[in-house]
Copies of this chain bind each other. A is one copy, B any other.
Amino acid sequence: MVKIADVAKEANVSVATVSRVLNKKGSVKPETCERVYKAIEKLSFEPNMSARNLRRNETRVILIIAPNITNPYYAHILAGIGDEAAKLGYSALIYNTAGNEERERSSMDMLKRKRADGAILLACNTDSLWVAEYAEKYPLVHCSEYVEKLDVPRVSIDNYKAAVDVMEYIIGLGHKKIATISSCNSYISTVLRLQGYKDTLKKHSLAMKKRYIAFADAEYSFKSGKTAAFDLLKQKDRPTAIFCISDTIALGAITAAKEMGLRVPEDVTITGFDDVDYTTMFHPYITTIAQPCYELGRESFKLLHACMSNKKEIDKKVILPHKFIIRESSAPISTCN
């Protein structure tokens, strides 16, 4: 292994000088600088990060705590984080925790061991209060989901507003019997979207019926969406519109409707949420809320970087704009209904 001392010898300077040119800190005479570069080149020297990290007490590595990188929603966020991080010379250590607190904590412990400088948490439940004990010691940011009670920096969309947008649209279409398929997880987004559903109903003096509220599983699986939709639609007084809190659920709902002989959107309007890859792979293309996943990731890293650099005057609650996209799975209520 070639080290700084070797380069120094080759260039006939001291290690301090080599370090200076390496880090472009302090002043070095151009010719000396040149000699050092030549030596580095000649010996193909590469600085040892472990040594540098130990000395500087920083790693230029961040942690990403994700429940499931296989989910395209998270995958896009990861891509955003990764690209932005790379720009500033950071690398990302990704941990797949399946939402398991044990694994989340042990991943976060890499912070204590100085394996990383900060962390981005992708999907904390609303009740993950344990995050606080890390937040007070290390730079942390929540992306997309967060713990409401904690004052941890975060970036997300306005889930409540987005849900209201969809509901106002559906109601504007003339629908009165509007159901929702929520999820049995306890993410803040789930809570907020359900609240948006309820509040908008109320605002328009539409009764909220328990039997119009169904729940898919925690992972928004296609299958559970299908099952939930089936339960909703088999009711005598079936809903004419279903507000689903994810695209996969909406996809499952559309499939259920079709299998029951119902046309989408003629017989039932179905909307999704997130706008992941497959919303336009099949007809009907799904009416949905598009989340700026990639941007969410980028902003998260920027925010984390600000925290790691101890910038004080920054906004710790970043809300990115969502986009409501009307496509084919929604339509005005038909007169036959």
A325 contacts partner chain B, Cβ-Cβ < 8 Å: no
Asked if A50 and B54 sit within 8 Å, CB to CB, the answer is yes
| Given contacts A49-B115, A51-B54, A114-B49, A96 and B72 within 8 Å (CB-CB) | no
Asked if A109 and B72 sit within 8 Å, CB to CB, the answer is no
Asked if B91 and A93 sit within 8 Å, CB to CB, the answer is yes
Complex formed: what's the CA distance from A317 to B234 in Å?
A: 54
Task: Write out the residue numbers on chain B whose beta carbons fall within 8 Å of the beta carbon of A38.
Answer: none
- Residue of A78, A82, A95, A96 contacting most chain B CB atoms (<10 Å): A96
CB distance from A86 to the nearest CB of B (A): 8
| Given contacts A48-B54, A72-B70, A93 and B96 within 8 Å (CB-CB) | no
Within 8 A of B (CB), among A90-119: 91-96, 109-110, 112-115
**Which of B54, B69, B110 touches A69 (beta carbons < 8 Å)?**
B69
Measured as residues with beta carbon below 8 angstroms from the partner, the interface class of chain A is: 35 or more
Complex formed: what's the CA distance from A70 to B109 in Å?
A: 27
| Given contacts A93-B61, A110-B91, A112-B46, A79 and B72 within 8 Å (CB-CB) | no
A319 contacts partner chain B, Cβ-Cβ < 8 Å: no
Task: Write out the residue numbers on chain B whose beta carbons fall within 8 Å of the beta carbon of A282.
Answer: 255, 281-282
Asked if B69 and A79 sit within 8 Å, CB to CB, the answer is yes
CB-CB nearest in chain B for A103: B86
Asked if B61 and A281 sit within 8 Å, CB to CB, the answer is no
Asked if B79 and A91 sit within 8 Å, CB to CB, the answer is no
Task: Write out the residue numbers on chain B whose beta carbons fall within 8 Å of the beta carbon of A112.
Answer: 46
A59 contacts partner chain B, Cβ-Cβ < 8 Å: yes
CB-CB nearest in chain B for A294: B70
| Given contacts A72-B70, A75-B70, A93-B91, A48 and B113 within 8 Å (CB-CB) | yes
Complex formed: what's the CA distance from A251 to B277 in Å?
A: 13
| Given contacts A49-B114, A72-B72, A114-B49, A281 and B251 within 8 Å (CB-CB) | yes
- Could you jot down 13 A-B contacts, CB within 8 Å? A48-B113, A49-B110, A50-B50, A50-B54, A50-B59, A50-B115, A51-B54, A53-B53, A69-B82, A82-B96, A92-B94, A251-B281, A278-B281
Binding site for B on A (CB under 8 A): 46-51, 53-54, 57, 59, 61, 68-70, 72, 75-76, 78-79, 82-83, 86, 91-96, 109-110, 112-115, 222, 251, 255, 278, 281-282
